[in-house]
Structure 1
Amino acid sequence: MTHQTTLLFVHGTGVRGEEYARTLRTIESCVASRNWPLTVAGCFWGSAGARRDRKLSVPNYDATKGTGLQPEQEQLERWAVLYLDPWYELRLLRGMPPTPYGGGQPPAAALRATIAAFRPSEALARLLAEDDLTDRFADALTAMRAAEVFEQAIATAPPTPLEHRCAIARALIAHSLKAAMAEGLPPLGGAKRELLVGQLVADLRGSGLGVGNFLVEQVKRYLPRPISHVLVGHRGALTDATALPAGDVLRYLARGQQMTTLLRNAILDTGSDSVVLLGHSLGGILCVDLLARERIPAVRTLVTVGSQAPFLYEIGALPSIEPPDSLPEHFPPWLNIYDHRDLLSYTAAETFPDRVVDLRVDNGEPFAASHSAYWSNDEVWTSIESVLPR
């Protein structure tokens, strides 16, 4: 357990791979420019958000829908997250329903032994050397062998764990490439990256007709579908445009357990005993709800930005607290930042007297841009600095 403070960003409604990656990098840059002695981490819960399956309930949907994501864009979304958190798919696999096996060596033990003894094949070693990744790949292997999330992920492996092997391959390559880019090397490019992944999958014997679809289904949930039209005559596209922002909130209120689990695990995964939660929009609702339900000593402070948590409480829709009950005694100090032009932000100090500090800021943008403009506002960062643990 480390004593260095971690600022854990929890994204908002409708946010998926590339947008999450951009925002987290912006936050990392803002923290670095201020020389704050803390670590920045992120909780990407989009995989548990609203589903993007075909909408049979929408009249004439097929004729009026948008173009949808192409496979290339799906890959970009996946890697946008993996470059930030190479273990992300391993975190998802922790939630995979276990499959009974008939005896012999448990699948988890077999995977553990494979990674413990793994050495790159001649073909993979050559590819790694071409791009100066040999040492970085060795570091990735070392990190994976020691990672608690690896043990948790392989615990759900079925007898033929092809999907786990593919996820392990992507995780190792993502870890290697992230380290290379952090040291100033240029991005490898999609074609070369997929060549590396493909060879590593082959080395791990992860190819075959039995590759499962658990991660595929998770990816379908978080990859957004572009919108070409929002006119009345394009109802399917309009549905696509609103499905994620509204759907994420509705899904959380109806079946939010998986999102809550992802947030709780993200807090534990920081390994810090001093965490500041930074929740934007629905991310703030997740934070308030979890902290009201559970005492988590590592969380020292909550900062919500553009959050609807106070409004949900007032209408009786916040799952953890029913009016007139207030926040429990164990709830940490809470700073609530809002912009009066952000119609999705609400005040909390009067709703929870003596338990919350409200801060009104001016992002200088009209709605709806005001809802996403907090990160470029110096006043926001000054206020966050004022509540960091000393």
Structure 2
Amino acid sequence: MTTVIFVHGTGIRQREYNDTFEIIEQKIHAQRPDIKVAPCLWGALGAKFNENRASVPLEDGTLALSQGEEDADIVLWGQLYRDPLYELRLLSLKPIKSRNPFGEKPGDILQSRVASLTPTLELEANLQEAGIAEIFAQARDTVIRSQPYKGALLTVSESDLSEYYAAIARAIAAQAMFISELQEKFPPILTDAQLRDKVVELLTLALTEAKLGLGGWLLKPVLGLAQHGGTNYIRRNRVELTDKISPMPGDILLYQTRGEKIRQFIQEQIAQAEPPVVLLAHSLGGIACVDLLVQQQLSGVELLVTVGSQAPFLYEINALYSLEYGQLLPEHFPEWLNIYDLRDFLSYVGNKIFPERVQDVLVDSRQPFPRSHGAYWTNAKTWEAIISRLP
């Protein structure tokens, strides 16, 4: 009787493994009821806190932290780093106030000042120090040409001009940082918050003498972000967050430094199984199986199936434990089927790395990352590839 052993990936818990194992067993038995599906839950050997989270700061989670403008500012910059026009998009959604049709429009005043802006000597020196002097004009022009900026001009009134000047200053600074990263340049402003804020302050003052700060209309939605996803939320919930994110990187780090126990556990499950054996391995489980099969000649294993695996990537960067880059897979290494998904950024192809030794099969989960990394087991293409190759 052929045995399929399911070797899981990183950070999986008992209940999650049980649910996944049940799906795999059902999918295989639907077409091959003669095959035995066996578990290989090595998670007990994975990463764990040995001192009850003694290394985690703020373990009691009771530190009183401000929920004020400072936190809102941090959250706002987090948005601006991803989208320099974020704040202007918000301003473009403001209700348009009625105004004197014969007077000069506030938006025209704003546009004139931004378009004709000439950096003062102090601002120019600050831009040089920040490392964005050469791309400042490009950043400003990019903002001016954008639809969010043009939309914001339509909603501005005389009473809130200062709110717009500060927002535009932040947009230009964020756009300059965005351009720098696209050009693979890393000026000091990218990591120096004080320098960044000084650029914004001087840029705002060059536009107007109004006091720098978040306007009332903008402050409310940004404070909402701060309360639900800001830095203080993370700091106050550090233990909970650590528990959520540590299993995956923790297991990877543990395996890379002390993975022999995990490989030994997998080998023991193979020894107990009735041959021929198929190893069905997900993510880090695939790396462990590749390492094991390189190091040990296990004649009972006829097929290795890796799903969402990083083994080819680790080999290419010379980080695969068992095989130095440039070395070939040993002759005793079994047939290798590798299933990947272009939407799963933790999956890699092996045929170009190990020519004629790996067969890559592409599937499409139609799921965004990271959900795509765990979506293989309900994908019909996954099972078409696997079932047809089972002994």
TM-score range, shorter chain: 0.5 to 0.7
Checking the alignment, whether the CA contact within 8 Å between 1:284 and 1:304 is kept in structure 2 is: yes
Q: Distance in 1 between matches of 2:45 and 2:367?
A: 30
How many pairs align? Answer: 223
User: Match for 1:27 among 2, 24, 29?
Assistant: 24
Q: Return the TM-score normalized by structure 2.
A: 0.55
Checking the alignment, whether the CA contact within 8 Å between 1:326 and 1:352 is kept in structure 2 is: yes
Provide the residue aligned with 1:300 in structure 2.
302
User: Match for 1:256 among 259, 280, 289?
Assistant: 259
SS in 2 for 1:61: coil
User: Match for 1:41 among 35, 38, 46?
Assistant: 38
Q: Return the TM-score normalized by structure 1.
A: 0.55
Checking the alignment, whether the CA contact within 8 Å between 2:9 and 2:281 is kept in structure 1 is: yes
Q: Are residue 370 (structure 1) and residue 369 (structure 2) matched?
A: no
Provide the residue aligned with 2:53 in structure 1.
55
After superposition, where does 1:1-390 map in structure 2 within 5 Å? 4-53=1-50, 54-63=52-61, 231-233=233-235, 234-270=237-273, 272-389=274-391
Cα drift, residue 52 of structure 1: 2.9
Deviations 1:85-134 (A, max 9, x none): xxxxxxxxxxxxxxxxxxxxxxxxxxxxxxxxxxxxxxxxxxxxxxxxxx
Q: Distance in 2 between matches of 1:308 and 1:49?
A: 18
Q: Which runs of 4+ in 1 moved over 3 A?
A: 228-231
Checking the alignment, whether the CA contact within 8 Å between 1:335 and 1:359 is kept in structure 2 is: yes
Deviations 1:346-383 (A, max 9, x none): 11111111110111100121111111111111111110
Checking the alignment, whether the CA contact within 8 Å between 1:229 and 1:237 is kept in structure 2 is: no
Checking the alignment, whether the CA contact within 8 Å between 1:24 and 1:42 is kept in structure 2 is: yes
Q: Which moved more, 1:279-288 or 1:236-245?
A: 236-245
- In structure 1, give the amino acid aligned to 2:308: G
Checking the alignment, whether the CA contact within 8 Å between 1:9 and 1:279 is kept in structure 2 is: yes
Q: Which moved more, 1:38-47 or 1:228-237?
A: 228-237
Cα drift, residue 56 of structure 1: 2.5
Checking the alignment, whether the CA contact within 8 Å between 2:280 and 2:306 is kept in structure 1 is: yes
Cα drift, residue 235 of structure 1: 2.6
SS in 2 for 1:301: strand
Cα drift, residue 237 of structure 1: 2.3
Q: Output the aligned Cα RMSD.
A: 1.9
Cα drift, residue 8 of structure 1: 0.7
- Residue identity over aligned pairs, in percent, reads 48
- In structure 2, give the amino acid aligned to 1:323: Y
Cα drift, residue 31 of structure 1: 1.3
**Structure 2 unpaired stretches of 5+:** 64-227
Q: Distance in 1 between matches of 2:36 and 2:327?
A: 35
Cα drift, residue 236 of structure 1: 2.6
SS in 2 for 1:63: coil
Checking the alignment, whether the CA contact within 8 Å between 2:29 and 2:35 is kept in structure 1 is: no
Checking the alignment, whether the CA contact within 8 Å between 1:7 and 1:275 is kept in structure 2 is: yes
SS in 2 for 1:232: helix
Cα drift, residue 64 of structure 1: 6.9
Checking the alignment, whether the CA contact within 8 Å between 2:28 and 2:387 is kept in structure 1 is: no
Deviations 1:221-259 (A, max 9, x none): xxxxxxx98943333322222110110111011111111
Cα drift, residue 344 of structure 1: 1.0
SS in 1 for 2:354: coil
Cα drift, residue 266 of structure 1: 0.5
Cα drift, residue 388 of structure 1: 1.2
Checking the alignment, whether the CA contact within 8 Å between 1:336 and 1:347 is kept in structure 2 is: yes
Checking the alignment, whether the CA contact within 8 Å between 1:12 and 1:280 is kept in structure 2 is: yes
- In structure 1, give the amino acid aligned to 2:56: V
- In structure 2, give the amino acid aligned to 1:269: Q
SS in 1 for 2:246: helix
Q: Distance in 2 between matches of 1:329 and 1:46?
A: 30
Q: Which moved more, 1:233-242 or 1:327-336?
A: 233-242
Q: Distance in 2 between matches of 1:64 and 1:381?
A: 49
Checking the alignment, whether the CA contact within 8 Å between 2:61 and 2:238 is kept in structure 1 is: no
Q: Distance in 2 between matches of 1:305 and 1:290?
A: 16
**Structure 1 unpaired stretches of 5+:** 66-227
Q: Distance in 1 between matches of 2:304 and 2:376?
A: 16
Deviations 1:305-343 (A, max 9, x none): 001111111222211001111211110010000000011
Checking the alignment, whether the CA contact within 8 Å between 1:229 and 1:238 is kept in structure 2 is: no
